[in-house]
Structure formats: C-alpha cells, structure tokens
Structure 1
C-alpha cells in the first residue's frame, strides 16, 4: 500500500506539522471507546500489524506520527478529530456493562487523585477528557453505579448518533470472535474473506487490576503521547 498524505481541514487550527515518519496507512484510525473497553489490547494488536500507534496523544506531533491513536483524548474529542482529519476512520469499542462497570470503578480508584482539576499530576488534556465524559469534577460520587452507567450510555448514544449512516465508522466488542478480522478489514490491512489472519484474536491486556500494560509493552512503533515536533509540544487550538 502506497502511503498518501493525511488530508486535513483547511481551518486555521488544522495548520499542523508534517509527519516525520512515513505512515503505513493512508488515513488515521481513531479508537474512540471509553477506558476499560480494550483500548490497550487494540493498540498492541495494531502495533503488531506494523502501524505506528499512540495510546493517548497530547500533542499535534503525536497525532501526526501515529497511524492509529486510542484512549484520551479520542473518546471525548472524536467530533473535533473528525473535522481535523476528514478521511480518518473511527472505531468504537463496546463492552458489556456488567464487565465494564467494575473495571472502570477500579481504574478511577487508582487515577482519581491524579485527575484532580488543580493538583492532579496527569496531563491537563487527559484530565479534561475524563471530566468531559465522567463529570469527575461535578459529581459527589464518581464511583456510583448509576452515574457511571449513565456516562457509558450517554457516550455510546452520542457516538452512534454522530456517526449514524457513515461507512468510516464501526463498532466492535473485542471479546467477540471475528472482531479482530473485522477491524483489519475495516482499516484495509487485509482483504475481505481472507482465509488466514496474522493472529486470530486481540491480545488480552490490562486484565483485572492491571492498568499499565501499554507502558510495559516495548515496541519500536510506539508513539509517545507527548511527542515534540516543529510546534514543540503544542496541542490543537480547538475547545470542547
């Protein structure tokens, strides 16, 4: 496949640096499922297919270097990214609520102190991305089952409504047989009805209480979330 330059919006905020690596895909892939839906597993699977991947991206350069970007801020900023990268493909990750809910509660129990609006050590873009989807600065009990269920369903409904009728969007559950093949076909890495795939299923990562599999996984195609480029570590100019 011959790489083609990613097409960008002509709006001022899309005046972005050129990538310094040759992207394998003609257009970007954004994984827009919420945390604990399989973003790390999908990211590692795409690395193994030869793509450059950023699991979280907080600079323009990180977006430009990566073929695929997952997690924050993609799950909150998909509409803005759709404008900046009009030929991108979007992948929503679904997970049964009875499995997602306790997993998300565990994640928040470990992250919440670092997501504090004023004193949290996490990147400001990550903090506002989590607040946008989970109202962590507005609600008294962010761990409440009903609250998180409502957040999940609201996000899902908004995503499905926004992308309704479009062929540059799919939804998958990575635990379902055949979902890996569906993803590879969607992003044009394999032809439909390919008899043999490089691997049959997604890797099972960040299971249980593990939240750091991406940091532990070593691969030359990993893109730093804070990659610096011609604009140093500047992010896009849009606001949610």
Structure 2
C-alpha cells in the first residue's frame, strides 16, 4: 500500500470515528441548523457551538453531498447525513430549499439565520474572500478560475456561485447576487413566520447578539461573545 493511499485511508477512518462519537452524543437531542448564507458569520457560529461542546457536522462531508446531490434536488442523502451530529452549518444548509426539507424531516429542530448589516456589506465580504482564495492576483474570480479551483473538487466553487443565479459571463454580478441574498433571507423569515421559538435571526456583529444566541439555546455560557472567524 502506497503512503498516499494509506494516508487517505487513515483520514477516512479518523473521520468515521469522529462521526460515530458525534452521532452517539447527538442522539435524541434537538438539532440546530445554521441557515444563513455564506459570509454572514456562519464559521463563527460554528465555533461558538463547538465551544459549548455541541457536536457539529463535518463540513467536508456536507460539501461532498452538496456536489453530488443538492443540484439534482435529491435531499435524501443530506437528510440522512444529519443523523451524524447535532449542529450543521455552511453548504448545503445555507442554500435555498434545504431548510424546508430539514424542517419536515426533523420536526422540533431549531434554525438560525445569520445576516449582515445589509446586502452591500455581504457582497463586499464574499467577493473579497473569493478574490483572495480563488482569483488571480487578488481579483474577483472568473468562471474559469472557479471551475479550476481545487477546493473540495474541481467544479465545486463554480456550483457555489451559480446558486446566486448569475451568468457564466458575469458570475459575480452585484445586482443579481444582492437580490438573491435579500430574497433568500425574506423567504426564510416568511417560512418561519409565526414560529418565533423555531427561528433566530441574528447579526453576530451586533452588541448583545451572543446573549440572544445562548438564550435561544436555553443554556448558560462562560463566554461573552462570538469568536471571530474568517473575517472579511
């Protein structure tokens, strides 16, 4: 067995062990789905859950499932994956329709919609982040850059951007992306209208946001604020 194959097998076994422990710890507990769009503080929210010892789903597994199933409208494998932990964030949980499927599949679950001050701020954040990670010489990526990006697997980042409804010629069109962001947030809030105990809408940069978070969870916390992760 080659060293590369052995290392890959070792990583997979480690992932399965972590997932087994997480699934066992999560059994029978309320699930929390972080459904805010990417670059709204979802990574900081994940870190806050982990600091409170909540089992969080493995992001890479979810990303692979997104690539393989979300764009075909097949939520069955994603729903099954959600048995593996108590808290889930990032894709596909931040994508349209996923929250509806999970609400039906896991009655009694709680949802957290993270938001930015406005769509302009969100757009600046996501374009800066993608330019840094996937663009050439710090510029906003082209479709070719996105298709060639090696994150998860080739093509993944191209799918991430097409969720917004932009074209191949203008993948980061500001008007289209900001309209998508605003529409998505409206749709989530409308879906949970009349169910205030099931949805928390939060801007983690606002004063008092962390207290709202722990009150929503119904727990005491030794911390005063969210950890700040992936700041852009």
Provide TM-score, normalisation by structure 2.
Answer: 0.68
CA RMSD of aligned residues (A): 3.1
C-alpha deviation, 1:90, in angstroms = 0.4
Q: Contact conserved, 1:27 with 1:88, CA < 8 A, in 2?
A: yes
Q: Contact conserved, 2:192 with 2:199, CA < 8 A, in 1?
A: yes
Q: Name whichever structure is richer in helix by fraction.
A: 2
Alignment partner of 2:94 out of 53, 71, 75: 75
User: Structure 1 stretches of 5 or more lacking a match?
Assistant: 1-16, 191-196, 209-240
- How many residue pairs end up in the alignment? 184
- The residue correspondences of 1:88-127 to structure 2 (distance < 5 A) are 88-97=109-118, 98-109=120-131, 110-111=133-134, 116=147, 122=152
C-alpha deviation, 1:65, in angstroms = 2.2
User: Which moves more between the two structures, 172-181 or 60-69?
Assistant: 60-69
Alignment partner of 2:193 out of 164, 180, 189: 164
Residues 31 and 82 of structure 1: CA distance in aligned 2, closer, same or farther (over 3 Å):
same
Alignment partner of 2:48 out of 40, 45, 48: 45
Match of 1:185 in 2: 215
- The residue correspondences of 1:1-240 to structure 2 (distance < 5 A) are 20-23=23-26, 26-54=29-57, 56=59, 57=62, 58=65, 60=78, 62-76=81-95, 77-97=98-118, 98-109=120-131, 110-111=133-134, 116=147, 122=152, 130=160, 133-136=163-166, 138-166=167-195, 167-190=197-220, 197-208=221-232
1:75-116 CA distances to partner (integer Å, 9 max, x unpaired)? 121111111111110000010233211111123433565754
Find the structure with the greater CA-based Rg.
Answer: 2
C-alpha deviation, 1:171, in angstroms = 0.1
Whose RCO is larger (CA < 8 A, sep 6+)?
1
Provide TM-score, normalisation by structure 1.
Answer: 0.66
User: Structure 2 stretches of 5 or more lacking a match?
Assistant: 1-19, 66-76, 135-140
Q: Contact conserved, 2:149 with 2:155, CA < 8 A, in 1?
A: no
What is the DSSP-based 3-state SS (H/G/I as helix, E as strand, rest coil) of the residue aligned with 1:74? coil
